[in-house]
Amino acid sequence: MEARRLAILCSHLRPINSGHSRAPPSHLSSSNCASVAKSEQVIYDPHKGSLQDGCVFCRIILGEEPAFKLYEDDSCLCILDTRPLSNGHSLIIPKSHYSSLEATPPSVIAAMCSKVPLISNAIMKSTGSDSFNLLVNNGVAAGQVIFHTHIHIIPRKARDCLWESESLQRRTLKFDEEASRLAESIQEMLHSTKENDSSKVQESNLSGN
């Protein structure tokens, strides 16, 4: 799993010759969290919510795996990534187990994102960086290998050549029929989602009466 993650990430990165190889950090297990399976035991801590047995992030939350914790509150935790793309590369993790971004409640996502300015500012000052990437690998094709929602904060410096795509010329969006159909399709999907959400709320209210 780690090899696949690195292969996907490296496909977007420009190789950097540092002149020497680095041994992987030893402060955190490199074990991965598989997709939630029915056979896996679900752990419940009244102070931390539902957690998934076998998930490395859940084990860190429970204190069963070591990690360099940068920040912690009732809803989320921030740790240093053990395979950093840059110095200070960190992860914001919710304290309940959600396998993907779409499975994560909006309130949890909001709580995680609300901490980004505070945490990123501290990371940039500590690493001498003046910029950062905020990244979510959501799904296998996007490079997600630990199926517990998390947000990457990746400190950046000028000319660090981290993303190969930064050297590529972007294509200009054409205001044609193809783009119009794409926009209409997305708008229809959003409208349908809103209607489904409204129906669920109404059904919930009726069942509660």
Q: What is the pLDDT of residue 165?
A: 76
| pLDDT at 4 > cutoff 80 | no
Q: What is the pLDDT of residue 3?
A: 53
Q: What is the pLDDT of residues 116-128, one digit of tens each?
A: 999 999 999 999 9
Domains of the chain: which residue ranges? 2-167, 173-209
Question: Of 148, 150, 152, 191, which is the active-site residue?
Answer: 150
191 given a catalytic annotation? no
| Assigned CATH for 2-167 | 3.30.428.10
Choice among 4-18, 59-73, 101-115, 188-202 with the minimum mean pLDDT: 4-18
* Of residues 48, 7, 49, the one with CA closest to residue 145: 7
* Length of the chain in terms of residues written: 209
Question: Which of 133-138's residues contact partners 24+ apart within 8 Å by CB, and which partners?
Answer: 133/162, 133/163, 136/101, 138/100, 138/101, 138/102
Give CA–CA dist 98/85, Å, rounded.
Answer: 24
Q: What is the pLDDT of residues 23-32, one digit of tens each?
A: 333 333 333 3
Q: What is the pLDDT of residue 205?
A: 67
